[in-house]
């Protein structure tokens, strides 16, 4: 296993990490086939055997807490210090008007319930699951810092926050001398690239914010199941499920087929190609995967050792034909390309290039 530091924190997370969204149940009925407790425990065991140390969860996962209970049961057989355990808070957990959002009341009450379900004394990482427009941001920042002071969490983070929301957060933490979030968990895949490649890089580089990528297989579109299908071959249910992707890119099935052919040329699976591509994005610290099949855990983890050279990456870009619009005047480079260039440049290694890449 390979590890990277998570943002500016001192924590090292496995380059591929494990998510548990559908473990034990399905909140809001987002799937008719959640992962059973037994299958979940088998996958967690396989992940740990392969060296994965970061397990991600949320209070709402598994239909309001069941995923946390499964993880809590699992980690009792291990040394707690070997894991990076995260959970999240924000979404409604009951009909109680205060059992939702990022108010100080809800955050303080939710962490105690989460720790009880996980059977642990602390979280390594606690996410604000979404931005809460109904609560003053300063109240949320103070609440998260309270939990750090109380020893209930080591770090706090955000999930799917916009750059402007993060900048305001860093402004508050700087002004008040408080701890800032260490990472943002962001939806990122070959068909949803804007956040990681356009919106967040300046903020992430300037503040040392880590990026945890999730939904890497694009709602299962890139699992390999749909490699040989055309758009008209999809079931009504699939078309509804993938509607947001299809509406933005009517040629998406053709692109998946091209990616599958490229994976075959490389003698790897499509998911392995996707994970390898994602892990080589400079801003990404770790990539979340989730599955019900232990064999898939092993297959996906093998992508760590797959190196995609510039020629292969250009073939991927040619197949996708959705590269984000360049943001540097007079060049054809995206910000991701440019940051990678700066970090690899010999002058960066001797400290001549400043660490704040936004200055370029």
CATH of the domain at 32: 3.20.20.100
**Which parts of the chain sit beneath pLDDT 50?**
329-332, 347-360
- How much is the pLDDT for 219? 86
Q: Determine contact, residues 62/93, Cβ cutoff 8 Å.
A: no
Question: Is the residue at 135 inside a domain?
Answer: yes
| Sequential DSSP letters for 84-105 | EEEEEE-S--SS-TTSSSS-HH
Residue 314 domain flag: no
Residue 226: the pLDDT is 81
**What are the CA-CA distances from residue 328 to residues 55, 236, 334 (Å)?**
37, 42, 7
Question: How far is the C-alpha of 114 from the C-alpha of 87, rounded, in Å?
Answer: 8
In a domain, 360, yes or no: no
At 30 the pLDDT is 63
Residue 226 covered by a domain: no
Is residue 110 within 8 Å of 98, Cβ to Cβ? no
Whether 327 maps to a domain, the answer reads no
User: CA nearest 65: which of 57, 56, 73, 74?
Assistant: 57
What does the pLDDT look like over 245-263, one tens digit per residue?
Answer: 888 888 899 999 999 999 9
Residue 340 pLDDT: 57
> Over the stretch 276-291, which tens digit does the pLDDT of each residue have?
999 999 899 999 999 9
Residue 28: inside a domain: yes
CB atoms within 10 A of CB 174: 11
Active site residues: 61
What pLDDT does 348 receive?
A: 47
Residue 319 lies in a domain: no
Q: pLDDT tens across 52-110, in order? A: 999 999 999 988 899 999 999 999 999 999 999 999 999 999 999 999 999 999 999 99
Predicted confidence at residue 246, as pLDDT, reads 82
Number of domains in the chain: 1
Identify whether the C-beta of residue 216 lies closer than 8 Å to the C-beta of residue 287. yes
3-class state of residue 22 by DSSP: coil
Residue ranges making up the domain that contains 97: 3-219+270-306
Is 80 inside any structural domain? yes
**What pLDDT shows up at residue 359?**
36
């Amino acid at each position: 296993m390979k590890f990277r530091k998570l943002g500016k924190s001192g924590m090292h997370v496995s380059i591929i990490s494990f998510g548990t969204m559908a473990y034990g149940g399905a909140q809001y009925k987002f799937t008719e086939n959640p992962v059973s407790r037994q299958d979940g425990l088998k996958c967690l065991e396989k992940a740990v055997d392969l060296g994965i140390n970061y397990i991600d969860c949320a209070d709402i996962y598994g239909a309001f807490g069941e995923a946390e209970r499964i993880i809590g049961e699992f980690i009792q057989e291990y040394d707690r210090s070997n894991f990076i355990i995260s959970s999240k808070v924000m979404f409604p957990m009951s009909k109680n008007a205060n059992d939702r959002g990022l108010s100080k009341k809800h955050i303080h009450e939710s962490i105690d319930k989460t720790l009880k379900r996980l059977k642990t004394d602390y979280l390594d990482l606690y996410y604000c699951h979404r931005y809460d427009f109904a609560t003053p941001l300063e109240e949320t920042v103070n609440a998260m810092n309270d939990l750090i002071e109380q020893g209930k969490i080591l770090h706090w983070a955000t999930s799917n926050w916009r750059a402007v929301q993060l900048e305001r957060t860093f402004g508050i933490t700087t002004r008040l001398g408080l701890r800032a979030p260490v990472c943002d968990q962001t939806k990122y895949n070959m068909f949803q690239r804007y956040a990681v490649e356009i919106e967040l890089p300046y903020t992430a580089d300037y503040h040392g914010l880590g990026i945890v990528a999730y939904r890497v297989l694009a709602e299962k579109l890139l699992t390999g199941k749909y490699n040989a299908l055309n758009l008209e071959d999809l079931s009504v249910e699939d078309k509804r499920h993938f509607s947001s992707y299809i509406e933005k890119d009517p040629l998406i099935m053709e692109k998946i087929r091209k990616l599958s052919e490229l994976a075959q040329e490389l003698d790897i699976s499509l998911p392995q190609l996707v994970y390898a591509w994602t892990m080589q994005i400079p801003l990404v610290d770790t990539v979340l995967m989730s599955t019900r099949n232990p064999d898939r855990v092993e297959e996906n983890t093998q992508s760590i050792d797959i190196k995609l050279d510039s020629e292969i990456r250009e073939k991927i870009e040619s197949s996708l034909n959705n590269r984000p619009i360049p943001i540097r005047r007079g060049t054809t480079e995206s910000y991701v390309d440019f940051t990678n260039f700066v970090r690899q440049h010999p002058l960066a290694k001797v400290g001549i290039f400043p660490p704040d890449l936004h200055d370029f």
